[in-house]
Structure 1
Amino acid sequence: MIYKVTNKQYNADDCFVCGTQNDSGLHMHYYELNQSFLLGVTCGKNSHQSYPKRMHGGIITALLDETIGRAISIDEPMCWGVTTSIEVKFRRPVSLDETIYVLGYITKNRSRTFEGYGVILASDKKTVLAESNAKYLKQDIKDILGNDHLSGWQLIPDDKKEFELFYEFIRSE
């Protein structure tokens, strides 16, 4: 299925998942897609390794957590998710030095909390490597960062207009 990019999300300077200045980080780029899906694109490095040539499970969990937690800002731009619980199912090894795609969306949205689902796809854009269900407490960005909430954040423009993915979410809504 072809998903259209509706917005590109900001990257932080020092965040482990999306930070552009974090030498140990994953340098994830996030794209808001039609149907309120969030897509993260990255490639693991040797510093993210557990067993040889495989990404560490904690880092896999961080990717899913960040992606689901950011998905709330598609519909609520001043909101961030603070994780209260996360369950991850590891389906296959996540290879290093290979582009992976992390998709997330919100499954339940309440006034103070939300829940979401995420999946990591291999470079073939269809093989499920890991999946997650998570719960979050909503926090206003200004409550976390203060009034200067965009300090240390930057928008890195690119020409991505759409992504073709061979995995389709099945929503139970």
Structure 2
Amino acid sequence: MELVLIDSLSLVSPETSADDLCAVVKPLSHQHCMLCGTQNLLGLHLQFFSTADQQVWARAKGSIHQQGYQGILHGGFLSALLDSGMCQALFQQNIEAVTADMSIRYLHEVPLNSDILIKGKIISSRYPLYKVEGELYVAGQLVVKSSARFMAKGFGKK
């Protein structure tokens, strides 16, 4: 998995090597996530890796099961990939948070069966809010980008 990720990552971040990657550890409360959970039978089982510059990366592959218009991946599926990448950037810093709001910019259609590279990074951190950005790449081209605010999980509970 790491070598394939490095091959994809080298298209957008050529200075990254396999030695630079470290697996992101998910909290136990996230093991059934439909995108990255290891305990979700129908999930995608995405595995995220962090780099020295505190960014996280993963690979995903779309299929007909995530189709919107014929031959094109559904925008909701792409937004879920972005949300997952941004959440993993927080996990990489041992932060558990939920999406408060998210803005997405679709730059290009993403064909079915595309190999997608997911990127997430924290922009600012001021408890209980975190500003995070996500990007999706296909063949080295930025196809979708997002910015979001996350709120610390459980904040405000009585």
Which of 77, 98, 104 is the aligned partner of 1:88?
104
Unaligned runs of 5+ in 1: 144-173
Q: Does the alignment pair 1:113 with 2:129?
A: yes
Secondary structure of 1:88's partner? strand
Which of 25, 28, 41 is the aligned partner of 1:22?
41
For the structure 1 residues 130 and 107, does the alpha-carbon distance in structure 2 shift closer, same or farther, using more than 3 Å as the test? same
Moved more, 13-22 or 58-67: 13-22
Aligned to 2:77: 59
* RMSD after superposition: 2.0
Contact 1:67 1:104 in 2 (8 A): yes
Q: How far, CA to CA, are the matches of 1:69 and 1:30 in structure 2?
A: 10
Which of 143, 147, 153 is the aligned partner of 1:129?
143
Aligned to 1:163: none
Aligned to 2:6: none
Q: Which amino acid aligns with 2:25?
A: Q
Unaligned runs of 5+ in 2: 1-13
1:67 Cα offset (Å):
0.9
For the structure 1 residues 14 and 95, does the alpha-carbon distance in structure 2 shift closer, same or farther, using more than 3 Å as the test? farther
Secondary structure of 1:19's partner? coil
Q: Which amino acid aligns with 1:100?
A: I
Write out per-residue CA displacement over residues 30-70 of structure 1, whole angstroms, 9 at most, x where no aligned residue: 11112000112110121111012211111111111111122
Contact 1:49 1:56 in 2 (8 A): yes
Relative contact order (alpha carbons < 8 A, sep ≥ 6): 1 or 2 greater?
1
1:13 Cα offset (Å):
5.3
TM-score, length basis structure 2: 0.77
Q: How far, CA to CA, are the matches of 2:148 and 2:108 in structure 1?
A: 20
Structure showing the higher strand proportion among its residues: 1
For the structure 1 residues 22 and 94, does the alpha-carbon distance in structure 2 shift closer, same or farther, using more than 3 Å as the test? farther
Count the aligned residue pairs. 136
Q: How far, CA to CA, are the matches of 2:24 and 2:90 in structure 1?
A: 14
Q: Which amino acid aligns with 2:62?
A: G
After TM superposition, what 4+ stretches of structure 1 lie above 4 angstroms from structure 2?
A: 10-13
For the structure 1 residues 46 and 115, does the alpha-carbon distance in structure 2 shift closer, same or farther, using more than 3 Å as the test? same
Aligned to 1:100: 116
Secondary structure of 1:83's partner? strand
Secondary structure of 1:34's partner? coil
Structure showing the higher helix proportion among its residues: 2
Secondary structure of 1:59's partner? helix
- The percentage of counterpart residues that share the same residue type is 21
